[in-house]
Structure 1
Amino acid sequence: MGILYQAADMSYWVIWLFVLFALMAFNELGRTSLWAGIALFAVVPVFLTIFVWPETAAPGNEYGTGTWFNWVKTYSALAGCLGFIALRFVKWRGKDGTVHHLYEKKWALCFPPLILAVNIAEAVLRDFQVFSFGLWSGGVVENLWTISGPWNIMNGIAGILNILTICGWFGIIISKDSSKDMIWPDMIWAWIIAYDLWNFAYTYNCISDHSAYCGLALLLACTIPTFFIKRGAWLQHRAQTLGLWIMFVMTVPQFADVLAPIPTTHNPAAFFIVSLLALAANGALAVYQFNKIRKNRLNPLKDELYADTEAYKRVLKENE
């Protein structure tokens, strides 16, 4: 891919495509079946935590999966998956015989934006940490190649803006179909694209030679379903594909380095460009959103900011 990646063998891109479609397929399985979701995001992780990851993700291993960040990211992603399943399906009968649903509780609707913000913040801290390493010509840290530069600061700021532009969470609904998806109408395409650009830049900056998979493929695996399979459910798609990928990486840590490597070009210009795009997109979104809030006198903590857009209306109509 020119300035971004260099693969020694084109067959690795075929494997990349397989990874992309496998993530989408397992996401659909977990999305459309409650029991499959519980198996994938609760039963399997417990088994792996006890019997597999102590070996494959041991601290100091040669593939870098034993870092605090990988372990935290694994369980925060799985917490999101299980939390969203609970939000979609947990219900109980009150003393008066009325059936209550977890998603009816305002405090429960705070969980999706909170876990999302925490995940973004973890990555922002990592970008700043990589800058602090002072590897201006590149180097290996925790068994992963990386290079420090202004791109880390630029993308860290982009991530902070991305957190600040999360909006409309009190408008989250559960779809009326059998899959009972968690639908976030106010999370329209503009925020999703800004997030994708920021997250890709983060993976490119901090997990450079793995970013073809954990950045490009992983982001497409949740963005494609959002636009073409189940609109409005981006965060649910994101949590599940992230959970699936990170479990796989923790189990087969040599995959991106030995079995099917697609390294970056290690070109400083590439790092600068992807981070600049991320900062520009998130900066533009923040300015637009601020102006929209001011013009319409909206409360960003309570109101849905994009209720007047066709994208919002379409998602709401499809899922009510």
Structure 2
Amino acid sequence: MFLFETISFEAALAWLAILTALVVVNEITRYNKQMGILFFIVIPIVLTIFVWPITSGADSGAQTANWFAWVKTYSALIGCYIGLGLRFSKRLQAKRWCLLLAPGILAINILEAVIREVEVVGMQGITEGMFYMGGPWNYLNATAGIINILCISGWFGILISKDKHHDLVWPDMLWFWIIAYDLWNFAYVYNCLTDRAFFSAALLISCTIPAFTTKRGAWAQHRVHTLALYMMAMMTFPSFFIESSVAVPSTHDPIAYWTVSIVSLLFNLGVLAYQVRTIIVRRKNPLTEDIYDHFKEHQAIVKANR
């Protein structure tokens, strides 16, 4: 295959199982505050003390025994804590500046990946237990990541739904930004997570599905929840994603690296161009206003959550 080696029937089933588990558990974690506390505070504390030092510690020899895996895990968990605070604390909701915390942690999360992408440029062969093939494509996708950060809009337009779930809803985060993010993120995991990219694609789709079905407008919440859950699983069972019988290696074909990175960059450039045009034509202040409040989808999301 172009991107991956042969995908066995068992590997396809494992991929579907991971996707399904992430979608289902995400729904459980958004059900109420107690579920959020259990999955994102209690369980990570137990794993941090008793499990991860063994499975992903510096002396473990695991593919997750590096700074990025640890930082990504805890930055995702911090994003969950910010979401829990905004969703269930009236005090935080009353302070307008606190709304900046959600897009802020999202931007930091993307920036972490951009830094890692640039770091991977100099990696060739087996490094940290995985095969890397760094190249110019990493710079292309790092640029796409920076553009994706610049295209985050509606920082002050975040809402908390009035239903029992108290979801964090972001009306200005519409489908084209989400697709731009997905393309960038897939290129990132393909370039930098190498032979773990196959299952990382399931993670990426697991937050996109509910963003267009069960709870529209809550992509950021779905993303941080599924990312935290996935990272917790990866830190606990690092060998499953790369050494098990269902692991699917990447082809490590330079053409594949170039392709995913070019597609990522071009789509993000398109979103940036459209955003700049919208700001100019509609005379919007991107720092304080929702840019896309003229979209019916935006208006529907606002109406459904107020």
The two structures have a TM-score, normalised by structure 1, of: 0.93
1:113 aligns with 2:112: no
Letter in 2 for 1:268: P
Partner of 1:98: none
Hey, what does 1:209 align to over in structure 2? 195
Cα drift, residue 236 of structure 1: 0.2
Counterpart of 2:172, as a letter, is: D
> Is the aligned partner of 1:173 residue 2:159?
yes
> 1: distance between equivalents of 2:126 and 2:275?
39
* CA RMSD, Structure 1 to Structure 2 (Å): 1.1
- Structure 1's 284 and 265: CA in aligned 2 closer, same or farther, altered over 3 A? same
For the residue of structure 1 that corresponds to 2:45, the secondary structure is: helix
For structure 2, list consecutive stretches of 5 or more residues without a partner in the other structure.
Answer: none
Alignment partner of 1:228: what SS? Answer: coil
Q: Which residue of 1 aligns with 2:119?
A: 129
In the alignment, what sits opposite 2:222?
A: 237
How far apart, CA to CA, are the structure 1 residues paired with 2:47 and 2:65? 14
- Structure 1 portions without partners, runs of 5+: 92-100
Q: Give the Cα–Cα distance (whole angstroms) in 2 for the partners of residues 8 and 270 of structure 1.
A: 17
What SS does structure 2 have at the residue aligned with 1:304? coil
Contact in 2 for aligned 1:63/1:257 (Cα 8 Å):
no
Deviation, structure 1 residue 256: 0.8
Match of 1:94 in 2: none
Change (3 A) 1:60 1:129: farther
Per-residue CA deviations over 1:51-91 (Å, capped at 9, x if unaligned) read 00110011153331110111110100000011101100013
1:33 aligns with 2:32: yes
Match of 2:302 in 1: 316
Q: Which residue in 2 is equivalent to 1:89?
A: 88
CA distance in structure 2 between the aligned counterparts of 1:6 and 1:231, rounded to whole angstroms? 35
In the aligned structure 2, how far is the partner of 1:228 from the partner of 1:112? 22
Does residue 1:290 correspond to 2:276, yes or no?
yes
Alpha-carbon distance in 2 for matches of 1:13, 1:78:
28
The 3-state SS of whatever aligns with 2:162 is coil
Map 1:29-68 → 2, pairs under 5 A: 29-68=28-67
C-alpha distance in structure 1 between counterparts of 2:71 and 2:161, whole Å: 30
Give yes or no for contact 1:63–1:144 (8 Å, CA) kept in 2: no
Partner of 1:76: 75
Secondary structure, counterpart of 1:201 in structure 2: helix
Deviation at 1:117, TM superposition (A): 0.5
How far did residue 245 of structure 1 move? 0.3
Alignment map for 1:139-150 (pairs within 5 Å) = 139-150=125-136
How far apart are the structure 2 equivalents of 1:146 and 1:204?
A: 10
Contact 1:145–1:207 at 8 Å: present in 2 too? Answer: no
Find the counterpart in structure 1 of residue 265 from structure 2: 279
Judging changes above 3 Å, is the alpha-carbon distance between structure 1 residues 58 and 7 closer, same or farther for their aligned structure 2 residues?
farther
Q: Which of 227, 232, 236 matches 1:247?
A: 232
Match of 1:221 in 2: 206
1:257-287 deviations in Å (ceiling 9; x for gaps): 2222011111111111111110011000011
Partner of 1:95: none
Give the 3-state SS of the residue equivalent to 1:231 in structure 2.
coil
Contact 1:103/1:173 (CA < 8 Å) preserved in 2?
A: no
- Residues 8 and 191 of structure 1: CA distance in aligned 2, closer, same or farther (over 3 Å): closer
Matched residue type, 1:271: Y
CA–CA separation in structure 1 for the residues paired with 2:4 and 2:93 = 43
- Counterpart of 1:182 (choices 168, 172, 192) is 168
User: Which whole-Å CA distance do the structure 1 matches of 2:122 and 2:6 have between them?
Assistant: 29
Supply the distance in 1 between the matched residues of 2:187 and 2:59 (Cα, whole angstroms): 25
Alignment correspondent of 2:8: 9
Question: Is 1:256 equivalent to 2:241 in the alignment?
Answer: yes
